[in-house]
Amino acid sequence: MTTINTPLQDTRFKPSKDMSALVNDLLKQDSAFHPNLGGVTKGGMSNHYPMTILSLQGLGASDEEIQHFTDMWPRHQAHLTQQLNLKDKQIINEKNWQEYLGQADFVLEFRRVFLTQLQNSESPNNYVANILYQMRKGLPMGLFHPLIRISFAMIHGDKGLIADGLAYMAIRFSDLYGGTDFSGELNENQIPNIDPVETLSKKSEESTSENAWQNIHSFLETQGQRIQFTQTIQGGSLHICEQLCREPAIQSLVFENDLDINHENLMQSVAEVSMCALRLYFHQPALTTLHAVTSCQALADITKRCLAEQTDSKQLIALWQHYWIWLTGLYIEKGYPKNLPKIDANLETEIALKDWQSLAISARNIPEVHLIKMVYSCKWFFENIEQSVYYKLAVVKILKERNAHPRSPYGLAK
């Protein structure tokens, strides 16, 4: 493998004081390479490299452990300018960038536009929220890898890394919601008018994600065959979810049983939605359900950082609404499991007593990048959103199985 050590942002990179010189140097070098190699050369996902470095760092890994990972990782990188011959032709600017969404050849131009605006912004976090809001209809593309990259870049703090993540999302953009305009403040005219059946459950006075999915579960069990789709729903798990996002009948079903995310309950809704994502992972452990959790954690981290700077919550609410539609599509695709798994009382006590430091030490030795990120996400959720034993249980399972496609939960009631 040819190694090229010419970063794109030598004069602009700002090292994080909270990270080691090694981590800063690795991230600085990685910025010179294409983030989504699979979308360019059809081989390799280079985004996993920086994602895992930062997950390891967040789990307390030493420089020696991180260096070991970099030595072992079979990365397939392509330098943006020297190998892919991409150029910034100064076509895209801050006024027309949305016209070029989804076009991979413009990654350098997106990066320039976003970086310039970040450098000129009084509140970079607010700027990120605004750009994500404008790209909200493409949120689930690429198993949310761009969102994860943006979250880690905000943790690090370098504006060039944040611009990299935003550019990554821009080139992966595709409207997954069929042109429907959901906004942060829904009104009657914005709710899809198509009613799949007349017997949809209405919102309860206490609208929660758990209640919403219970209503949808009951409806699908009794009336699901009456839903009419505009297309044949088929393909792999991710593609099916993308198709379901676009279906007016599914959008209507979700809105009629909406979580009703608003300014007052935003963080409580984040906690509830996060647990719903984890429920799907327990029900059917797979890369799609794993990414539902890790991307949810990335969005939660971004949300907390933006709220700390008084970001317009309407933008953040809209992001969560779009994520909730996608997650509900995954819920339907996975067979709409009714509940979280029941934990044996003795097992629950045993797991609750485990400390995160020892769990993190064990997780840092797992030779699988998705699982390392999943452990990081579970630890972050426990420490920042909700101290639920289910987050520890997920990690215990991962440490036991050490497989991205583990078996069903052990020690749990069916």
> What are the contacts of 72-77 at 24+ separation with CB within 8 A?
72/367, 73/48, 73/49, 73/369, 75/1, 75/44, 75/46, 75/48, 75/49, 76/1, 76/37, 76/41, 76/43, 76/44, 76/46, 77/1, 77/30, 77/33, 77/34, 77/37, 77/44, 77/46, 77/49
d(CA 54, CA 52): 5
Rounded to whole angstroms, the Cα distance separating 68 from 283 reads: 33
Question: What value does the mean pLDDT take over residues 269-290?
Answer: 93
The answer to whether residues 172 and 238 touch, using CB atoms and an 8 Å cutoff, is no
Burial of 93 (C-beta count, 10 Å sphere; 0-12/13-18/19+) = exposed
pLDDT band at 63 (very low <50, low <70, confident <90, very high): very high
Whether residue 44 is predicted with pLDDT greater than 70 in this model: the reply is no
Q: What is the DSSP string of 163-197?
A: HHHHHHHHHH----STT----SS--GGGS----S-
Which residues are CB-contacts of 124 (< 8 A; sequence separation ≥ 6)? 118, 159, 162
Q: Which structure tokens are listed for 136?
A: 């909200």
Selection from 62, 167, 43, 24 nearest residue 7 by Cα: 24
259: alpha, beta or left? (left if phi > 0; alpha if psi -120 to 50): alpha
CA-CA distance, 405 to 401, in Å (whole number)? 9
d(CA 222, CA 237): 23
- The contacts of residue 66 (CB under 8 Å, 6+ apart) are 20, 22, 23, 26, 53, 56, 57
pLDDT for 180: 57
The 10s digit of each residue's pLDDT in 8-35 is: 443 479 999 999 999 999 999 999 988 8
pTM of the predicted protein model? 0.89
pLDDT-based confidence at 40, cuts 50/70/90? low
Give the up-direction half-sphere exposure of residue 382: CA atoms within 13 A in the CB hemisphere. Answer: 21
Q: Percent of the chain at pLDDT above 70?
A: 84
Q: What is the mean pLDDT of residues 47-72?
A: 94
Q: Which amino acid is at 384?
A: N
Provide, rounded to the nearest whole percent, the portion of the chain with pLDDT above 90.
53
Q: What is the pLDDT of residue 206?
A: 61
Query: What average pLDDT does the segment 159-164 reach?
Result: 96
Under 8 Å between Cβ of 35 and 29 = no
Of residues 205 and 324, the one with the higher pLDDT is 324
pLDDT average, residue stretch 179-206? 43
For the chain, what's the residue count?
A: 414
Helices (H), 5-144: 21-30, 38-41, 48-58, 63-72, 107-120, 124-134
pLDDT score at 227: 85
Q: How confident is the model at residue 45 (pLDDT cuts 50, 70, 90)?
A: low
CA 227 centroid distance within chain: 28
Check if the beta carbon of residue 366 is closer than 8 Å to that of residue 398.
yes
Task: Check residue 385 and give its pLDDT.
Answer: 97
Q: What is the mean pLDDT of the chain?
A: 84
